Chains A and B, each alone.
Chain A
Amino acid sequence: MSEIALPKVDRTVVSKKDLIVNNLKQFTDKKNVLSELDEIRPYETDALAAYKNLPLAVVLPENTQEVSEILKFCHRENIKVIPRGAGTGLSGGALPLNDAILLGLGKFNKILDIDFDNKCVVTQPGVTNLSITHAVKHKGYYYAPDPSSQLACSIGGNVAENSGGVHSLKYGTTTNNILGVEMVMMDGTICRIGGKTLDQEGYDLLGLICGSEGLLGVITEVTVKILKNPQTVKAALIGFPTIEDGGNCVTDIISNGITPAGMEIMDKALIDATEKFVHAGYPMDAEVLMIVELDGTKSEVEELFKQIKQIAEKNKSNSFKLSKNEKERLGFWSGRKAAFPACGAMAPDYYCMDGTIPRGKLSEILKEISRLSKKYNLGVANGFHAGDGNLHPLILFDGSNKEELRRTEEFGAEILKACVRMGGALSGEHGIGIEKRELMCEAFNDNDIQQQINIKMSLDEKNLLNPGKVYPILRKCAEEGRVHVHRGEEKFPDLPRF
């Protein structure tokens, strides 16, 4: 896991490090260019901490013009650039390269315009997801996507990874909640896409950029939609004796035309871990625990919970607890939200996976994960955004044991392959990054990947912006000698082909 094939290091660039660093100091304040080992060390990894690599230098520009000048320079000099937001990404999308400049957007940390008339906020990309909600909550508004890292993750990173969260079942992911961006292309061109209007005429460039994992442009400003808080929000904890019963209940709720604001599922291992950790009051006799949250008018929420209770009973639920007040509702969520640290307390390391399956395959995938857990002899705890089929198995392992690391990686890959086999996707919200790069061939064939690469090459013809991410280096298609060659030019000629 700690070793991964990366694009070939350009020794010429590395040998010119001092010259490059001096040049960068022309475009921004000298203090914003970091090149000493102790200064750049904190940037060697993102939240996928098993992978580490030092950049050539780190530059922290302060405005769009500076970003443009830096990119123009790097483009001219053939220097790779890795954009980075808050570094909370879980797929290694911001992993540096030894011959690349790491472009940190941490100084883009201001909210520029709170526009209640148009129900939007214009913000710099380094602002955290949660601070947008904090900036508008005094008037009863909020920003809907709520990834679990919302306290720390930046909105620019959310755009890059199309982040979701527990409420995306009803309110969508980042792509459904942004109106516009300003971005800088690799050649330094500054481009504004969208603004305060709904939809864009012409090609949906906003849709293309969102979830593009920093490969197409550097986001320097984001306009997000804000929503009014719902009148009533309530949650219920529902316990089930078996995985099948919990899974069927999820499908039945959706089939009955109910769209909860959030619908989560936790397995026995995660219930035990989180209950020990935060004492959320979860039913300890349940094999599967569901948290359902509804919002709307008081009568609507009450009526729908009546229906959900009936559906749950039909699916043999063995407990049903409805939140009586806001404190209790937040208590219900406290366990789910503490899933990561709770797993951290159970084993020296955990590896958080992210895949998607059709809702109806929930019990099937849980059974498969359980089978794989035995096969690899590794513990696993499962938390699901069940409403939209997004699963986050947490594999428990000891990182100091190399052999266990290898097994963990294989276990994770097998889970994701199973997701694809069941009609799902390799990633629901964490992105591909470097972590799942080699698995792309499981979901896509050579034509599909080549079309994506063609888009990348059309906007970054030298492949300098965040290279080595998303698309397989050890591409199966490449191994089989089916690499598409366009007009005699091989794409990504600098990438090793095995």
Chain B
Amino acid sequence: MFTEEKKNSQIFQDSNHLSPTSELEVSELIKEAYKKKFPIDIHGSNSKKFIGYNVQAAKSLDFSSLSGVIEYLPEELYIKVKPGTLIKDIENILEKNNQELSFEPTDFGYLKEGKSNKGTAGGCVSCNFAGSRRFKVGSVRDFILGFRGVNGKGDIIKSGGTVVKNVTGYDLSKLVSGSFGTLVALTEVTLKISAKKPSQNTIIIYEKDPKIISDLFNMVLSSSNEISGAVFVPDEPKSKKFTPNKSKAFKLNDLDQEGAFFAFRIEGDQNSIKERIKDISNEMNLKKYKTSNLDIYQSDLFWKSINSLQLFSETKNNLLRAVVPPSKSEKMMSFLNNKYRYFIDWSGALFWIEVPGDQNIKEVKNTIIQNNGYVTIIKKSEDFEFTEKLFTIDDTKLMISKKIKESFDPRGLFNPGKMYKDF
């Protein structure tokens, strides 16, 4: 046995909490786990650990120490980082060059701790939760150019690269996005980055009728004005089961917190924003409604609040994430209004729904599925009894997913049971 291998074998034996600092170390530790058939809890900074089932594992592999920027080439529009690198740090680096992660990673920090925590690059990729620009620019998975990682046998593997167009073998970057660390322990990810638009404005329309809101969403999707965000925030239900939070989450000078509102965002240089707003005013016949206009500063805060789920800050209830075809938004609104606290993102396609009590989850899930959508139970209330599955999947896809899982992790060691009970 090589000295290094011997050392890692000893480390593996002595400690249950392992914090590798190099790819080689990750590989050696996983090889040990493979030999000894020890399941491993793979995680970064734990900002999204509450999502999915609890992992029962003898060892925990903490990637937060494997961090740092490997290569950042602004002109080539990519940044290559180690998985433990904080999203916050990446955003700060990009900001200096007027660049950004345009998929707007969802910030789950407020939900649990009442403050921002976007977690790590590895966690962001593994969970694949994109923010408000999704319907225009794509999801996290559309921004992963390549990765390096270690499979369940300890082999170091890579896929993709640093270029946008790449058809060389299967696109494993997509496959690892949203796999919750069950396929590969990531050791390096290359993210596609974008130029930040010089300015932005958000138009608020004070309206709550589901038919009108649904029509407005449709107009956003039908417009050629490159609208980069469209949300609806309804009235909060009067029930005591919800702690009122809306006025705090959207405390902005030019936003009237009373009542429901629809909002959409335009980005670009000042002239094109003006031109687009004028055009959209005609398309949507805006003079019919009470409206207000959020300037660049307020607009920025508004979308930060949306993408950090501040409406549900520190809630004790369950939180569901549903994705439906946008044409179903009206039916969904009619069902949810006054019963549940929720908001709609992705121009009618994404619903974040707060559901008190397990007994109500079933009816919400059924409605989503009837409307051809899928649902994830993101946050569980304290008395959650696990009668409902956290992720939805049909039997055929489950069978295919299980086979794929085995091809990466034949002994089922990575985050066992995190997504599905079977593997």
Contacts and interface: CB of A to CB of B under 8 A. Distances in A.
Contacts of B406: 458
Interface stretch (A20-28, A98-106, A194-202): A194-202
A211 B373 contact: no
B165 A429 contact: yes
Contact of B325 (A118, A231, A359, A449): A118
A208 B174 contact: yes
A293 to B, nearest CB: 15
Contacts of B327: 115, 117-118
A457 B168 CA distance: 18
Interface stretch (A40-48, A372-380, A439-447): A439-447
Contact of A230 (B99, B141, B177, B224): B224
Interface residues of B, number: 85
B75 interface: yes
A432 B218 contact: no
Interface string B179-204: 10001000000000011100000000
A201 B168 contact: no
Contacts of B408: 451, 454-455
Interface stretch (A70-78, A171-179, A336-344): A171-179
B1 interface: no
A170 B386 CA distance: 43
B376 interface: yes
Interface string A19-62: 00000000000000000000000000000000000000000000
B142 A172 contact: yes
Interface string B315-332: 000000001111100000
A204 B141 contact: yes
Given A172-B142, A296-B226, A117 B326 contact: yes
A399 interface: no
B168 A427 contact: yes
A297 B226 CA distance: 9
B167 A429 contact: yes
Interface in B340-358: 346, 349-350
Interface stretch (B36-44, B299-307, B395-403): B395-403
Given A210-B171, A254-B75, A425 B225 contact: no
B167 A432 contact: yes
A178 B165 CA distance: 16
Contacts of A207: 141, 171, 173-175, 177
Interface string B401-422: 1011111100000000001000
Interface in B115-171: 128, 130, 134-135, 138-139, 141-142, 151, 155-159, 161-171
A203 B174 CA distance: 8
Interface stretch (A149-157, A255-263, A404-412): A255-263
Nearest to A229: B224
A179 to B, nearest CB: 9
B268 interface: yes
A210 B374 CA distance: 21
Given A197-B325, A203-B175, A440-B168, A451 B407 contact: yes
A455 B170 contact: yes
A447 B225 CA distance: 46
B97 to A, nearest CB: 9
Nearest to B184: A451
Contact of B163 (A196, A213, A425): A425
Contact of A205 (B172, B225, B397, B407): B397
- Range of interface residues on A (Cβ < 8 Å): 35 or more
A452 interface: yes
Interface SS of chain B: helix, strand, loop or mixed? mixed
A48 to B, nearest CB: 15
A228 B178 contact: no
A390 B167 contact: no
Interface in A404-463: 423-432, 436, 440, 443-444, 447-452, 454-455, 457-459
Nearest to A461: B403
B49 interface: no
Nearest to A357: B163
A200 B350 CA distance: 12
B222 to A, nearest CB: 6
Contacts of A390: 165
Nearest to A387: B164
A202 B323 CA distance: 13
B169 A428 contact: no
A119 interface: yes
A475 interface: no
Given A204-B178, A303-B272, A388-B164, A358 B76 contact: yes
Interface string A183-194: 001000111110
B373 A197 contact: yes
B269 interface: yes
Nearest to A177: B138
A299 interface: yes
A255 B75 CA distance: 5
A360 interface: yes
B9 interface: no
A213 B169 CA distance: 8
A214 interface: no
Interface stretch (A161-169, A284-292, A323-331): A161-169
B128 A204 contact: yes
B244 interface: no
B150 to A, nearest CB: 10
Contacts of A430: 167
A459 B403 contact: yes
Contact of B156 (A196, A447, A457): A447
Interface of B: 73-77, 98-99, 128, 130, 134-135, 138-139, 141-142, 151, 155-159, 161-175, 177-179, 183, 194-196, 218, 221-226, 268-269, 271-272, 275-276, 279, 323-327, 346, 349-350, 372-374, 376, 391-394, 396-397, 399-401, 403-408, 419
11 contacts: A198-B346, A199-B139, A205-B404, A208-B175, A424-B161, A425-B161, A430-B167, A432-B169, A448-B158, A451-B151, A457-B407
Given A175-B174, A205-B397, A448-B157, 10 more contacts: A119-B326, A172-B142, A197-B373, A199-B323, A201-B376, A258-B195, A423-B161, A425-B167, A430-B167, A436-B168
